[in-house]
Structures are given as C-alpha cells and as structure tokens.
C-alpha cells in the first residue's frame, strides 16, 4: 500500500469515527429530552410563581376585583374623622408645581360645594351608588421579579409621602400643606387579599404589589387629585424600588397617563 492510500484510509477512518460519536451524542441528548415529563417544566414554574409570588394575570384579576367592594364601602361610609396632618413646605411646593395648570381650581380645592349647585347635586346622587370599573382610577406599584415589598419598608415609604393609616385598615391621603380635607383624596391598599394592613404584624407582611386608587366623582378637582396620586406613586416606586403599572397591568407610560387625564376630564363634563 502506497503512503498516499494509507493517509487517505486513516483520514477516512477518523472522519467516520467523528461522525459516529457526534450522532451518538446527539441521539442521547434527544432521548434525555423525550424522557422528561413534558408538563414538568410548566408545573414547576407555576409552582414557583405561586409560592414565591411572581405576578400572574389571575393574581392581578383576583386582587383588583376586590376594589369595587372597597370603594363601595368607602362611598357609604360616614365622614372620616378629621386627621391632624403636619404641613410641610417642601411637599406643598411640589404639589403646586405638578398642578400648576390647575391654579384657578386649587385656590378653592376643598371649599364646600353650594347646595344648589349642579356639581353638588351630582355628588349627592352618586354618594351611595355602587362604583363600577369606569369610575375607578387606579395605579399599581409592583415589586421587581424575585422581589417583594416588606411591611416595614412600606410603612416608612407611606409616611414619607404623606399617607396615613386609617379607615378599613388601609392608608389614605388627605392632601398636603394648607390644602387638606377631612375625607381621603385617594387611598392605598395591598393588591392581594385581604388588601389591608395589620400594623401590629407589619414586619411579617410581604406583598408583590400595592394599589393606589380613588373613585369618581370627588368633591374636589379630580385632575388635581390624579396629579397628586401620580406624584405619590412615583415617589413610592422610587422609595421601594418598584414599577408603576396602569389598570391593565402594563408599565405606566405617557400615553396611558394622557388617557387617564382625558377620562377624568370627560367624566367631569357629564
């Protein structure tokens, strides 16, 4: 056998061996994939999400379905007891800046409505009416993946932004500076059942999300209330390291903010 034929033979044997081993490895990998329970990954992931608290659409739907009942109870409730709130100049200035476009209304923000005014009549008609989804303005502050909000951190954050613990064991915002009301402008709940907070056990309270909300109509400028709630949501999200989401659970963007403002404006013109 000539040296050339010998070299060709050796190269051929090596190529055959490489192809054989490659096919063997590929088949073994394929067999391993086929022997795994096809539903295992989905079940395991579902279990992880349920036990660690990663967000799901069903979780959000269940949590938000409780808001109507909460809002109806709020509507039917008598006047909340007056609350002493410390006025902070910096907060008042910030509120003024974000609502500068509403300056004419701000002056009389909490002035009582005249009994014979159309606005007062509309308010009287809706005080004890069940609240539907179209009347609820909501924002959600959700934790980042693999994270939760701890109760102590929540308490520190809500204190920083002027929310106060009160009726129904949830937090309420009564306004800032010299512009305050005896009734909440908007409120904050846990997104998930039971939705309220136990201050005595707050260190054991962990949640994936918080909800800020108010219902239309209100006895003050709704646009001003929304701007204050938006500002509060932004500060809470920054303080807690979370994300702000709209009513459809998508990250809140400028388009959604504009849509909410338009919705409030249209409701006020009814």
pLDDT tens sequence across 85-94: 333 333 344 3
d(CA 5, CA 227): 86
pLDDT tier for residue 20 given thresholds of 50, 70 and 90: confident
d(CA 225, CA 229): 6
Residue 70: per-residue pLDDT: 53
pTM > 0.75: yes or no: no
Within 10 A of 118 (CB to CB), how many other CB atoms are there?
A: 9
Using CA atoms of 262, 265, 267, 270 in order, give the dihedral in degrees to the nearest 10: -130
Q: For residues 219 and 232, which has the higher predicted lDDT (pLDDT)?
A: 232
One CATH from 3.40.50.11390, 3.30.2130.10, 3.40.718.10, 3.30.1400.10 for 55-268: 3.30.1400.10
d(CA 85, CA 180): 8
**Selection from 188, 214, 217 nearest residue 127 by Cα:** 217
pLDDT averaged over the chain? 71
Report yes or no: 251 and 244 within 8 Å, Cβ to Cβ.
yes
Report yes or no: 141 and 249 within 8 Å, Cβ to Cβ.
no
d(CA 63, CA 51): 16
For the chain, the domains span 3-35, 55-268
Residue 167: per-residue pLDDT: 92
In the chain, % helix, strand, coil (3-state, to 5) comes to 55, 15, 35
> Model confidence over 138-183: pLDDT tens digits?
999 999 999 999 999 999 999 999 999 999 999 999 998 777 888 8
């Amino acid at each position: 056998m000539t040296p050339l034929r010998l070299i060709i033979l050796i190269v051929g044997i090596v190529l055959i061996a490489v192809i054989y081993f490659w096919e063997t490895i590929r088949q073994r990998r394929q067999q391993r994939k086929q022997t795994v329970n096809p539903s295992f990954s989905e079940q395991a992931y579902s279990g992880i999400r349920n036990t660690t608290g990663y967000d799901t659409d069903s979780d959000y739907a269940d949590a938000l379905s409780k808001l109507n009942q909460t809002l109806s109870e709020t509507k039917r409730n008598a006047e909340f007891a007056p609350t002493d709130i410390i006025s902070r100049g910096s907060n008042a200035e910030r509120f003024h800046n974000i609502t500068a476009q509403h300056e004419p209304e701000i002056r009389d923000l909490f002035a009582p409505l005249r009994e014979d005014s159309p606005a007062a009549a509309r308010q009287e008609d809706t005080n004890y009416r069940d609240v539907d989804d179209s009347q609820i303005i909501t924002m959600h502050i959700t934790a980042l993946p693999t994270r939760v909000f701890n109760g102590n951190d929540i308490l520190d954050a809500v204190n920083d932004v002027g929310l106060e613990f009160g009726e129904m064991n949830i937090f309420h915002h009564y306004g800032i500076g010299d512009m305050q009301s005896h009734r909440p402008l908007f409120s904050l709940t846990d997104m998930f059942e039971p939705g309220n907070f136990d201050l005595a056990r707050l260190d054991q309270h962990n949640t994936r999300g918080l909800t800020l909300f108010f219902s239309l109509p209100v006895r003050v400028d709704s646009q001003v209330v929304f701007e204050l709630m938006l500002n509060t949501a932004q500060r809470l999200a920054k303080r807690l390291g979370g994300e702000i989401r709209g009513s459809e659970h998508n990250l809140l963007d400028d388009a959604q903010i504009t849509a909410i403002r338009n919705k409030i404006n249209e409701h006020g013109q009814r």
